Amino acid sequence: MSSERVEVKEKVLSANDQVAAENRALLAAHGIYSVNMISSPGSGKTTLLERTVDLLKPSLRLGVVAGDVQTRNDAERLERHGIPVEAIETGGGCHLDARQVARTLALLDLPSTDLLFIENVGNLVCPSSFDLGESEKIVLMSVTEGEDKPLKYPAAFRRARICVITKVDLVPHLDFSTERAVDNARSVNPDLRFFFTSSYSGEGLEEWGGWLGERVEEYRRGR
């Protein structure tokens, strides 16, 4: 990579980080805990969000920013669960950036939100570099993707605090070792916490939802 390209990239990230800091301050002012959910396409991110929304909606006021390259398909799926959803179509971009999120936050009823999910574009490379102003990055990987995903895309796992392994109901039908996947992820980030979920069988969803509820309360107390 040439020095000129490095300089341009640094300027882009610096400008993004400035807006991200403004987003973070705005969310904090309203007491909103927010998560930036990153995964490759087909990991089951939207389905997990649907199940999570149903689980948490009775006790928390939820909102979603749904990012995708094209279409509002994921946003429309989530809207059917009766929560506020704003879609961002990147038009070919491989990630969300802080400025896109800032424009979307202006459309949401922030005083009536406790927990904001930001569903990033399906990609494990670009989204890991862009701070959106979230409280936490969460990386997802499905058991159908292979145990070496964290080794192939280390930045996403290194910058996340939480790893959600999805579709665990399929493990008996696959040549997949959950133990090896966890070991690979921890070789990149020893501090990762894991949740093992199935949106089909419901396995792990209560633990995952309970953790999110606890984090919302912790965030409120820590403000």
Q: What is the CATH number of the domain that holds 215?
A: 3.40.50.300
- Asked whether the predicted pLDDT for residue 2 surpasses 80, the reply is no
**In 3D, which of 62, 78, 170 has the Cα closest to residue 116?**
62
Domain range for 71: 3-222
By C-alpha distance, which of 63, 64, 33 is closest to 220?
33
H/E element holding 205? Answer: helix 205-222
- Pairing label, strands 193-196, 115-119: unpaired
Asked whether the beta carbons of 129 and 38 are under 8 A apart, the reply is no
pTM comes to: 0.94
| Count of domains for the chain | 1
Distance CA 170, CA 2 (A): 44
Please spell the DSSP secondary structure of 19-61, one letter per residue: HHHHHHHHHHHTT-EEEEEE--TTSSHHHHHHHHHHHHTTTS-
What is the overall mean pLDDT for the chain? 95
Beta bridge partners of 89: 68
Looking at residue 176, its pLDDT comes to: 96
β-pair type (85-89, 62-68): parallel
For the chain, state the CA radius of gyration: 17
Residue 136 bridge partners (DSSP): 35
CA angle 112, 115, 119 (to 5 degrees): 120
- In tens, the pLDDT along 27-54 reads 999 999 999 999 999 999 999 999 999 9
